[in-house]
Amino acid sequence: MKKGFIGLVFLWVTQICCAQFSLRSDQPIKLACDNAEEKVVQTALKLFIRDYQSVFSASAAVDARQGNIIVGTVGKSPLLKAVSADVSALTGKKQAFLLQVLPDGKLLVAGSDSHGTAYGIMELSRLIGVSPWEWWADVTPEKKTSFVLSAEYQTLQSPSVEYRGIFINDEDWGLMPWSSQTYEPSDIKGHIGPKTNARIFELLLRLRANTYWPAMHECTLPFFLTEGNRKVAEEYGIFIGSSHCEPMVCSAAGEWRRRGQGDYDYVNNSASVYKFWEDRVKEVAQQGNIYTLGMRGVHDGQMQGAKTVAEQKAVLERVLKDQRGLLQKYGNKDVTAIPQAFIPYKEVLDIYNAGLQVPDDVTLIWCDDNYGYIRHFPTAEERARKGGNGIYYHVSYWGRPHDYLWLGTFSPYLLHQQMKLAYDRGIQK
């Protein structure tokens, strides 16, 4: 009898110490999250609350102190100190998250930084059955009556590439008219506003992407000249960058005729071009940006004022020095702490191969040949650079002599093969 009694006590204690995490359609829940968490975390919480309502037809709310789900960023959230979970595995990782069922049956969502925490929240949305494409591809979530994670459940995830995202290019025929005429009607010519960008950024956040090069053709009002766009980028934790011909997050094609004076020429009109860049850096220095360095023509052409490769190289050396001076003056005295990129695209690759010295902390972004084949893979010396390497790969293209704007002229497998080859050869920044 004693033996049997001891066995029953043991089983009861086991159930108390190792409870599973469960959600039910008749169960409102609370998510405990400190109010001081970054905007991207707050945005992810709002998305999850919407997802929970869609799946379980029940309410969810955020509480600063207690809840069924404990959400927090390492080093920032006091809530993590109150739970017994070991979050040391997140130390030293960027954008990483840990999901773990706690002994009391609550779920911990911890991030190594704010992006990691937000991705952890979105992982929970994915687990309950919400596709990242639920809006863009009309993937309606399936209704559920219950959801369970076992008492032993734990997942630790982190990205293998630090900056991941898309370039909205050749928007003339698709995104811009759809946005300005249908989804977000506007009397402003070429308007792609915050409502449209919020939908794009939501998809990126759900897919764990964090980087965006905005549309930049002359037909479109530039991103930073459109009210509300900066704010929505901050809310979704999106790093704003710019393409191979758009240095210092300035859309030269769309902005020079609005803000510039004279020719876009750093040989004969450097003071005006410098001010053009300076005004933008002063405006956005405290936002999350990846600054493209260098200079080309106003729109995807060779720079003005310099003809030979040697002349262009001399101009670019001066440009790089002046641009980094602006970042140091308005952004961070330690300029190496600011994300920067240099893109050897088209004729700029010839200049780079002629011996142009790019600062070691600047990421080199290599390009394909516009038809799916990467033109250059980093050498051992380039792989060892502090700034690392990136890739700019066309899945659509508008340019002479052949356009492919809707259906690519190469196979999906070629894209996979080339991108995997790029990663395996050290393009991982």
**Structural tokens at position 417:** 């093969």
pLDDT at site 128 = 98
Residue 157 in this model has a pLDDT that exceeds 90: yes
Residue 7: pLDDT band with limits 50, 70, 90:
very low
Residue that wins the pLDDT comparison between 403 and 37: 37
Residue 370: pLDDT band with limits 50, 70, 90:
confident
pLDDT at site 13 = 43
Length of the chain: 429
Look at residues 14, 30, 112 and name the one whose alpha carbon lies nearest to residue 72. 112
Residue 312: pLDDT band with limits 50, 70, 90:
very high
Asked whether the whole model's pTM tops 0.75, one would answer: yes
Residue 243 in this model has a pLDDT that exceeds 60: yes
Helix H or strand E segment including 328 = helix 309-330
Please tell me what DSSP assigns to residue 48.
Answer: H
Residue 71 in this model has a pLDDT that exceeds 50: yes
pLDDT at site 397 = 85
Q: Output Rg (C-alpha) for the chain, integer angstroms.
A: 25
Buried b (16+ CB within 10 A) or exposed e, 198-211: bbbbbbbbbebbbb
Q: Give the dihedral of Cα atoms 108, 428, 163, 388; nearest 10 deg.
A: 120
Q: What percentage of the chain has pLDDT greater than the value 90? A: 87
Contact predicate 392/365, CB 8 Å: yes
Of 86-90, 99-103, 211-215, 408-412, the least confident: 408-412
Average predicted confidence (pLDDT) for the chain: 93
| Mean pLDDT of all residues in 277-305 | 95
Look up residue 255 and give its amino acid: E
| Mean pLDDT of all residues in 338-353 | 96
Euclidean distance between CA atoms 44 and 111, whole angstroms: 13
Q: How far is CA 208 from the centre of its chain?
A: 7
Contact predicate 146/23, CB 8 Å: yes
Domains defined for the chain, CATH in brackets: 2-157 (3.30.379.10), 165-424 (3.20.20.520)
Euclidean distance between CA atoms 363 and 342, whole angstroms: 6
pLDDT at site 418 = 97
Euclidean distance between CA atoms 309 and 378, whole angstroms: 22
Euclidean distance between CA atoms 140 and 153, whole angstroms: 27
Per-residue model confidence as pLDDT tens digits over 14-65? 444 579 999 999 899 999 999 999 999 999 999 999 999 999 999 999 999 8
Q: How large is the greatest C-alpha to C-alpha distance in the chain, in angstroms? A: 98
Residue 400 in this model has a pLDDT that exceeds 80: no
Which alpha helices (H) appear in 18-143, and where do they start and end?
39-56, 114-127
Euclidean distance between CA atoms 223 and 214, whole angstroms: 6
pLDDT at site 407 = 67
Euclidean distance between CA atoms 9 and 302, whole angstroms: 79
Euclidean distance between CA atoms 428 and 163, whole angstroms: 9
Residue 8 in this model has a pLDDT that exceeds 70: no
* CB contact set of 60 (below 8 Å; sequence gap of 6+): 28, 29, 30, 31, 48, 49, 52, 53
Per-residue model confidence as pLDDT tens digits over 174-210? 999 999 999 999 999 999 999 999 999 999 999 999 9
**Structural tokens at position 303:** 């720079």
- Residue 138: helix, strand or coil by DSSP? coil
Residue 10 in this model has a pLDDT that exceeds 50: no
- Residue 23: helix, strand or coil by DSSP? strand
Residue 316 in this model has a pLDDT that exceeds 70: yes
Euclidean distance between CA atoms 427 and 429, whole angstroms: 6
Euclidean distance between CA atoms 25 and 60, whole angstroms: 11
pLDDT at site 288 = 94
pLDDT at site 17 = 57
Of 25-39, 69-83, 300-314, 391-405, the least confident: 391-405
- Residue 15: helix, strand or coil by DSSP? helix
Dihedral-angle region of residue 299 (phi above 0 means left; psi in -120 to 50 means alpha; beta otherwise): beta
